[in-house]
Amino acid sequence: MITVVGSEPERIIVDWMASWFDLLGAGELAEACEQLDLPAGDGRAWTPARLLAELEDHFGPGTGFHRLHPEGPKFTAASVATGIARASVTALNDGSGFIADHAVPLNGEFSDLSGLFDFRWSGPALLIALYDLHVL
């Protein structure tokens, strides 16, 4: 949950997503999962094992990414990743919150894998869901 103070929730959301990817890059997958208040789009909770399985599903053996990175996909902190940290935040028309996406940093650089997040108002705070991980 993020408590929003001030009038720039979009900036707060982008900063939160970057710090969430910093946790993943530090190997703190359990702590990152604990910061998610709501389940994924399919109704299941995120776990460290599920996050790693998603990486394997998208970038496992036989993929171009795996040929470039035979060690396999590894989360990298957003604060040290190279490339473009694509991030966007869109307010929902009904005022209930925001959807946002952020490029996932892998193996030292921002990848074409994106985290799609859902942020829903609950009083002055936003509840957070990682809706999905998908390749652009």
Please name the helix (run of DSSP H) or strand (run of DSSP E) that holds residue 34, with its range, or none. helix 29-34
pLDDT of residue 3: 87
pLDDT of 82 over the 90 cut:
yes
Q: What is the dihedral of CA 104, 78, 96, 31, to 10 degrees?
A: 90
Q: Read off the pLDDT of residues 5-59 as tens digits, 9 standing for 90 and up.
A: 777 899 999 999 999 999 999 999 999 999 999 999 899 999 999 999 999 998 8
CB atoms within 10 A of CB 108: 15
Q: Which domain holds residue 28?
A: 2-135
- The CATH code of the domain that includes 124 is 3.10.450
- Tell me how far apart the alpha carbons of residues 105 and 3 are, in angstroms, rounded to a whole number: 25
Q: Please tell me the total count of domains within the chain.
A: 1
Q: Read off the pLDDT of residues 84-128 as tens digits, 9 standing for 90 and up.
A: 999 999 999 999 999 999 999 999 999 999 999 999 999 989 999
